[in-house]
């Protein structure tokens, strides 16, 4: 059973059809929309500031979402995939974004819509990344504009797949 914990009077709130792995941790001032999934060993820690997540957000294994006390909340739009071991900290991620494995997004950064952040990239504090783009490296730099086909083929596909995967786990637990 996931660890869902209140702190400082804040109780996490969830939309409909969300899936949480047995060892996911969700704490404090967290509000997430419908069709969200939080996977094994992922941590969403709204103890020091607020975390707001839209619909169809998947937070994959060992990813961490956190904030900075009294300085930087975290806001995540709709249709966002946060891959394994990513760190999302005190930033804004808009709609239709893929954050690659092991990427780090620092305080007060803004990731505009329809953007892919490559695995292992570091988005530095106060960065504002263009929409419809792919970023890679440390620090992350724009490597090219994203095509409509890639946006649908990768960003949409991965977000939809994680809803499918959650269905597999629900079926298993119903047996």
Question: d(Cα 22, Cα 20) in Å, to the nearest integer?
Answer: 6
Per-residue pLDDT tens for 135-158?
999 999 999 998 888 777 889 999
- pLDDT cut 70: percent of the chain above it: 99
Sequence-separated (6 or more) residues with CB below 8 Å from residue 112: 94, 128, 129, 130, 131, 132, 133
Per-residue pLDDT tens for 14-53?
999 999 999 999 999 999 999 999 999 999 999 999 999 9
* Cα 80 to chain centroid, rounded: 6
Question: d(Cα 53, Cα 58) in Å, to the nearest integer?
Answer: 10
Nearest to 79 by CA among 143, 158, 14, 165: 158
What is the pLDDT, as a whole number, of residue 171?
Answer: 85
pTM of the entire structure? 0.95
Task: For residue 89, say if its preceding peptide bond is cis, omega within 30 degrees of 0.
Answer: no
What is the pLDDT, as a whole number, of residue 150?
Answer: 79
Residue 60 has pLDDT above 90, yes or no: yes
Residue 175 has pLDDT above 70, yes or no: no
Per-residue pLDDT tens for 93-108?
999 999 999 999 999 9
Alpha carbon distance, N-terminus to C-terminus of the chain: 17
Question: d(Cα 52, Cα 31) in Å, to the nearest integer?
Answer: 5
CATH of domain 3-174: 2.160.10.10
Nearest to 118 by CA among 97, 137, 139: 137
């Amino acid at each position: 059973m996931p660890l869902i914990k209140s702190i400082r009077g804040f109780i996490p709130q969830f939309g409909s059809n969300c899936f949480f792995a047995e060892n996911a941790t969700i704490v404090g001032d967290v509000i997430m929309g419908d069709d969200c999934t939080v996977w094994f060993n992922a941590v969403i820690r709204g103890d020091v500031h607020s975390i707001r997540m839209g619909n169809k957000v998947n937070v994959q294994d060992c990813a961490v979402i956190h904030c900075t006390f009294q300085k930087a909340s975290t806001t995540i739009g709709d249709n966002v995939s946060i891959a394994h071991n990513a760190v999302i900290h005190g930033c804004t991620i808009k709609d239709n974004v893929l954050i690659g494995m092991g990427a780090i997004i620092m305080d007060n950064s803004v990731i505009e819509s329809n953007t892919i952040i490559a695995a292992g990239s570091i988005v530095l504090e106060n960065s504002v990344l263009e929409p419809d783009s792919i970023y890679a490296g440390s620090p992350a730099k724009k490597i090219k504009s994203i095509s409509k086909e890639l946006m649908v083929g990768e960003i949409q596909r991965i977000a939809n797949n994680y809803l499918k995967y959650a269905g597999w786990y629900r079926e298993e637990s119903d047996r």
